[in-house]
Amino acid sequence: MALIFSLALVSSAAAFSLPPLADSAGAISRRSILAAPFIVAPILLPSAAHAADAAKEAALLDELKAIRKALEPLPALLDEEKWDNVRSVLKVPPTANLWNLGESKNTLRKLAELREEFEIFELADDVAGALQLADQFTYDNTFIYTQPGNGKVKIKEPKQQVQLASQKLGEFLDKN
């Protein structure tokens, strides 16, 4: 793609040539001053857009790294039955962006749209599902003692879901 972009720039630059800025007497023509921005702008604008996209992509990847780091202590907190601490990580940004605050805030979906990669949309769905289940299991454990039934606390299930989300994020980040 970079090659195609480079070839397009070269061909567009070759198609336009700047008129001489000064005549034989050294006077600068009005036409050359007015034409210069229209000839230079198409060459410079794509690189500015690319730089903006690169900055957005870097910020999204940094957010994903922060989320992965935030997920690391959760299995130990689940073992300690600290439900509120686990849900505090899952329900607030940046972690909540991946599953709880809508698709427009989902970091993986933003990255998928930016890169135009369908596989990242699938990853976003997988991670969102795992985090949603982890939160649901953790939420259920909060009220298990006050509900009728056998009163069995589920620790294995939310841990598996947190680990699944963390693993998928890790595999993705290792490739990027």
Residues 31-73 pLDDT 10s: 666 655 655 555 545 555 556 688 999 999 999 999 999 999 9
Question: pTM of the prediction?
Answer: 0.69
Q: Is residue 149 part of a domain?
A: yes
Domain membership of residue 153 as a residue range = 29-175
Residues 94-117 pLDDT 10s: 999 999 999 999 999 999 999 999
Q: Is residue 24 part of a domain?
A: no
Residue 67 and residue 105 in contact, taking contact as beta carbons nearer than 8 Å: no
Crossing angle of helices 118-143 and 107-115, rounded to 10°: 180
| Residue whose tokens read 């040539």 | 17
Q: Is residue 9 part of a domain?
A: no
Number of domains in the chain: 1
**16 contact partners, CB below 8 Å, separation of at least 6:** 39
- In the chain, the amino acid numbered 69 is K
Q: Which of 159, 93, 166, 88 is nearest to 123 (CA)?
A: 166
Q: Is residue 21 part of a domain?
A: no
Question: CATH no. for residue 53?
Answer: 1.20.120.290
